[in-house]
Amino acid sequence: MIELRGVTKRYGARASVNDVSFAVAEGAFCALVGPSGSGKSTTLRMINRLIEPSAGTIRLGGEDVATIPVESLRRRIGYAIQSVGLFPHWTIADNIATVPRLLKWPEDRVRARIEELLTLVRLDPGAVRAKYPHQLSGGQQQRIGVARALAADPDVLLMDEPFGALDPITREALRLELARIHKATGKTILFVTHDVDEALQMADAIAIMRDGRLVQFGTPSDLLTKPADDFVRDFMGGSALGLKLLALERVADRLNPETVPGEAPLALDARLSEALSQMVLRRADRLPVSDDAGKPVGSIALRDLVARS
Amino acid sequence: MNSMPRNRVLFALIIVAVAAGALGSFVADAPNRLVSGQPLGLWQAGGATTALPLALLGAALLVLSFARITRATRLAGLGCSLAALLLWIFAAGSSASALMAAAPPATRIALGWGFWATVFCLAMIVLDALQRLDAHGLLRLSTVAAIVAAIAAMALAGHFDGLSLAREYAARRSAFWSELERHCWLVLAAVAIALAIGAPLGVFVARRPSAGPGIFGALNLMQTIPSVALFGLLIAPLSALGVGGIGAAPAIIALVLYSLLPIVRNTHAGITGVDPTVIDAASGVGLTPTQILWRVELPLGLPVFLAGLRIVTVQAIGLTVIAALIGAGGLGSFVFQGIGQYALDLVLLGALPTILLALAADFALALIAACFERNPAP
């Protein structure tokens, strides 16, 4: 869906992105991670041509982006950034309607789309539609930013640390929302972050960059179990790698059908890291598991966590 | 009651107003328009019937300056100062009529410095009270409108006909209105042309920062040339071009040159002041540079731009007075005639409307700017 081949961006003699190649499959959620200045934002911004590459090609659905007129390319790609960048002099409805109106959608379709998107990002259309950005909280503004990016139903969504400026609780809530939206819409998402946990939690592919180069590209468990070098190992979590690996899987994946009695059973979709944490807290090597309805369905033991899956 | 005044602004202003009103010359009585007159105080000119209520209002304001500052005392201060201001102006008209009734027709009753000083102080008290009371601009607007309407009604009823200023006006009634109109046209033409050149230039400099130092340097240099000199300097090249070195054309050119810097600078500042992340988002979602300019940068930069327009308009109204020197006409022609004849009332006939025009333009543009500011800002 998104394919980068030999993409390079030079500023003078310095290459801030150097010969980067990777492909994001259709409908995938790919995180682009790396320390500050590693070139991840620059890479992202070359896809919608906010920055023109010095060398290499970028294809979107097989089409070379350099051949697509720049404004029509951008109207096909959703774009959300950390500072949100809502237009302060426009209402929330007008902000969301930006791209549909640029594409000259009929006004009743635009209005219907605004309702639909506000519902999708879980804001009350009646309450926020006529408000101005400064009347909303930071988290609500970022929800509007995501809604604006999705407005014209683009196949691809580019997000540049969209939740970086929010407090941890709001950030976690928005991550869950984005995961839900991704599942519901099937968009291809390329997501820049410097937060490894965010990437591990949300992405099904991770590209890790350093000094303008792509160091490794793979699934989260690939990066945790087979890091290409010490940098990747340290960046992914160093001594906590095992715990991060546990966070990738859920209790349901290692469920033991044997039920055991006990208080406060674990949920099936709880992460293995949470199960371990509970075992340590409760000083127990086996905990009961129940389904959503509270019916006991089995148990999980300490040795299940370390067993090869 | 406190031993120290609580409202020190009011206290200082009312002390000066009372002192100037009681001790300064209220009007000056001269046998003809060319000699300076005999100063008369309020007591001598108006008598006890006008002096007493004014003294009472002055005392009330003095007491209010010691009272605890609340919305009620501010409103009381506004009411008293408003009454005092209008009564004071009214008294000037009636004293002049009374003095003229018993004097030969060549006699001139001019307004004295004490009158002007008190008018100034009372107006400041009114404005200060309005500014502090005001949340929505409506009170300010209606108060200023009421003052203007009251003075206009007195003038139309012939209440000021005894004053020398009114007699200068009566002698030049038709010339006054045509020069006022001409003054307004010169200002409007100059500001319109300056906008047409300056706004695009400001956008250009915002787009091409490398052009900034050159353009701003040239415009700054222009601003340093004294206005009289610039009007004079334009005579020779314009006559060579056949446009005519005197009259409206050089005046408008000079006014435009002076107006360019504030317009270019504020357009530039308005555009470059827009949050860069908003611009990034705008181009990221696919607005063209032209759409970004019209839909994002210009609307968001509008308050700064309007501030520039306000500076330029007020400045042009004042500078147009000087343009009378090169035969452009306008209210300045009365000023320079008056200086030539040493007839101060004639100078005032040109200067007062200029000041009022500038105040009105400033007020109107501030009001427009406030309307835009009230719209949601970042």
What is the distance in angstroms between the Cα of A66 and the nearest Cα belonging to chain B?
A: 15
pLDDT tens digits, one per residue of A3-55:
999 899 988 888 888 899 999 988 899 999 988 888 899 999 999 899 999 98
Of chain B, the end-to-end C-alpha distance in Å amounts to 44
Spell out the residues 6+ positions from residue A167 whose beta carbon is closer than 8 angstroms to its own: A138
As given in the structure block, the two tokens for residue A117 are 């998107």
Residue-level pLDDT at B207: 86
Would you tell me which residues 191-250 of chain A have a C-beta closer than 8 angstroms to some C-beta of chain B? none
Q: Which residues of A touch B286 (CB under 8 A)?
A: 71-75, 99, 102
Mean pLDDT across B238-243 = 71
What is the Cα–Cα distance from A146 to A191, expressed in whole angstroms? 12
Find the DSSP H helices in chain B.
Answer: 8-23, 42-46, 48-64, 71-101, 113-133, 138-156, 164-171, 173-207, 212-224, 227-233, 235-241, 248-272, 276-284, 289-292, 298-323, 332-341, 344-374
Of A242 and A45, the structure prediction assigns the larger pLDDT to A45
Q: Is A85 on the interface with B (CB under 8 A)?
A: yes
Q: Which of A50, A87, A92, A101 to mutate to test the interface with B (most CBs of B within 10 A)?
A: A87
Mean pLDDT across B252-257 = 86
Q: Give the class (CATH, top level) of A2-243.
A: alpha beta
Mean pLDDT across B177-183 = 90
Share of chain B above pLDDT 90, in %: 12
Q: Is B287 on the interface with A (CB under 8 A)?
A: yes
pLDDT tens digits, one per residue of A273-308:
888 888 888 888 888 888 888 888 888 888 888 876
Flag the least confident range among A78-82, B17-21, B366-370: B366-370
Mean pLDDT across A190-200 = 87
pLDDT tens digits, one per residue of B260-280:
889 999 999 999 988 888 998
Domains of chain B (ranges plus CATH)?
8-170 (no CATH), 173-374 (1.10.3720.10)
Residue-level pLDDT at A225: 83
**Backbone region of residue A70 per phi and psi (left: phi > 0; alpha: psi in -120 to 50; beta: other values):** alpha
Kindly tell me if the per-residue pLDDT of B214 is higher than 80.
Answer: yes
Domains A2-243 and A249-306 share a fold: no
As given in the structure block, the two tokens for residue B161 are 């006909």
What is the Cα–Cα distance from A188 to A272, expressed in whole angstroms? 27
What is the Cα–Cα distance from B362 to A138, expressed in whole angstroms? 38
Contact A254, A277 (CB under 8 A): no
Kindly tell me if the per-residue pLDDT of B193 is higher than 90.
Answer: yes
What is the Cα–Cα distance from B191 to B218, expressed in whole angstroms? 19
pLDDT tens digits, one per residue of B2-15:
577 788 888 888 88
Q: Domain map of chain A by residue range?
A: 2-243, 249-306
Kindly tell me if the per-residue pLDDT of B227 is higher than 80.
Answer: no
Q: Is B373 on the interface with A (CB under 8 A)?
A: no
Share of chain A above pLDDT 70, in %: 99
Q: What are phi and psi of A208, to 5 degrees?
A: -110, 130
Residue-level pLDDT at A195: 84
> Which is it for strands A77-81 and A286-290: parallel, antiparallel or unpaired?
unpaired
0.80 exceeded by the pTM?
no
Spell out the residues 6+ positions from residue B312 whose beta carbon is closer than 8 angstroms to its own: B191, B194, B259, B262, B263
Calculate the average pLDDT of chain A. Answer: 87
Residue-level pLDDT at B245: 64
Burial of B371 (0-12, 13-18, 19+ CB in 10 A): exposed
Residue-level pLDDT at A61: 86
| DSSP, res B351 | H
Q: What is the CATH number of domain A249-306?
A: 3.90.1280.20
CB atoms within 10 A of CB B136: 9
pLDDT tens digits, one per residue of B29-82:
887 777 777 888 877 777 777 788 888 888 898 888 888 888 888 888 889 999
Contact B54, B24 (CB under 8 A): no
Would you tell me which residues 7-66 of chain A have a C-beta closer than 8 angstroms to some C-beta of chain B? 48, 50
pLDDT tens digits, one per residue of A127-162:
888 899 989 888 889 889 888 988 888 889 999 988
Residue-level pLDDT at B377: 46
Residue-level pLDDT at B378: 42
Mean pLDDT across A198-225 = 88
Which secondary structure element, helix H or strand E, spans residue A231, and what is its range? helix A230-236
Residue-level pLDDT at B187: 92
Mean pLDDT across A97-115 = 90
Residue-level pLDDT at B188: 93
Q: Which residue in B277, B286, B375 is closest to A81 by CB distance?
A: B277
Mean pLDDT across B272-290 = 89
Kindly tell me if the per-residue pLDDT of A165 is higher than 70.
Answer: yes
Q: Which residues of B touch A133 (CB under 8 A)?
A: 376, 378
> What is the ipTM, given to two decimal places?
0.79
Q: Is B286 on the interface with A (CB under 8 A)?
A: yes
Residue B81, CA atoms < 13 Å, CB-side half-sphere = 32
Kindly tell me if the per-residue pLDDT of B257 is higher than 60.
Answer: yes
| Interchain CB distance below 8 Å, B376 and A81 | no
Calculate the average pLDDT of chain B. Answer: 85
**Backbone region of residue A13 per phi and psi (left: phi > 0; alpha: psi in -120 to 50; beta: other values):** alpha
Query: In this complex, how many residue pairs, one in chain A and one in chain B, have their CB atoms less than 8 Å apart?
Result: 70
